Structure 1
Amino acid sequence: MNGVDLFLLGRTLMKIGEEAIPSPAGGQHLADRTVLIVAADVAAHPGSSISEITERIGFPQSAVSGSVARLRDAGAVRTATDPADRRRQLVHPAEQVSDRVAAIRASGVEAALAAALGTADPGRLAEVVAALDTLARHLGPAALTKLRRPGGTA
């Protein structure tokens, strides 16, 4: 595998992941890539400012701010004024999981994988899910932080 193969695989996996996220019953869909990436960063780094999130994920501040607003409106995160700098908002995961977030977390990937693979063979699906679980265990959101730092250490 080379860098291009890895990039294309990542893009394919993103599309399958987007397909696996259930659509809401009315309302705005939270499967926007930026929103998902911001949500993952907030979960990994609770209490971060918008600027800190922006720096870690490398997206424009306006995109991060908009994603935080969408996540807040959906009940996935809460914001609070930074007591050390009242101009900054700190972003935390919500204390209680909203129905929408619970539905997203409970959704499986098997149907989307079966469609992408062109088969519903249980053995093949189990093999692919196991491989994805291994990748997720080793290459979670923290891997991006390590990748962007000199020397690759967090």
Structure 2
Amino acid sequence: MNGVELFLLGRTLMKIGEEAMPEPRDGRTGGPRAILVVLSDVVGHPDSAVGEIAARTGLPQSQVSTAVARLRESGSVVTAPDPEDRRRSLVRTAAGTSERVAEVRATRIDAALKAALGGDEHAAEVMAALDTLARHLLPAHGPSPAADGPD
């Protein structure tokens, strides 16, 4: 596998993940991609300002602000004033797990994976490969997604 193939595989996996996500309860439309990109940045860089998140992710600051607002509403992140510059807010992951976060984490990818594969003939093999990748590449996420549901 080369870098281009890995990139394309990653994009395919992202699309399967997006397809598996439950619809927002508030009826808002639009995919979760920007929200997940922002959340993954916040996990890796706690106590970041919106502008810093925008610079790292390449997303427009307005899109980052919208994603942070939705993540805050869902209970995924909290914000607090920057003690060095009270005009800015710092974003970090929430300490607890909200009902919405629990719902998203409990949602399985089986149906979306089978749809992407065109059936369930190779689903178990692919799920085992994903479990192995998660165990080796996402060590901070604890037990495998196959055991506890997707993170």
Q: Counterpart of 2:72?
A: 72
Question: Aligned AA for 1:56?
Answer: R
Does 1:39 pair with 2:54? no
Question: 1:101 & 1:28 partners in 2: Cα distance?
Answer: 16
State the match for 1:6 in structure 2: 6
- Structure-2 separation of matches of 1:95 and 1:58: 27
Q: What amino acid is aligned across from residue 45 of structure 1 in structure 2?
A: H
Tell me how many residue pairs correspond in the alignment: 139
- Structure 1 residue 73: deviation in Å? 2.0
* SS of 1:24 mapped into structure 2: coil
User: In percent, how many aligned pairs have the same letter?
Assistant: 60
In the alignment, the residues of structure 1 paired with residue 2 and residue 98 of structure 2 have an alpha-carbon distance, to the nearest angstrom, of: 40
Report the CA distance shift for 1:29/1:41 in structure 2 as closer, same or farther (over 3 A).
Answer: farther
CA contact (8 A) 1:114 1:125 kept: yes
Q: Which runs of 5+ in 1 are unaligned?
A: 143-154
User: Paired residue for 1:151?
Assistant: none
> Contact 1:74/1:100 (CA < 8 Å) preserved in 2?
yes
Taking structure 2 as the reference length, the TM-score comes to 0.78
Instruction: Check the 8 A contact 1:21/1:31 in 2, yes or no.
Output: no
- TM-score relative to the length of structure 1: 0.77
> Which moved further from structure 2: 91-100 or 131-140?
131-140
SS of the equivalent of 2:5 reads helix
CA-to-aligned-CA distance 1:108-131 (integer Å, 9 cap, x gap): 11111111112224xx32321222
Q: In the alignment, does 2:143 pair up with 1:136?
A: no
Tell which deviates more after alignment, 5-14 or 99-108.
5-14
Measure how far apart 1:26 and its partner are: 4.6
Cα distance between partner residues in 2 of 1:58 and 1:130: 33
Structure 1 residue 33 displacement after superposition: 0.4
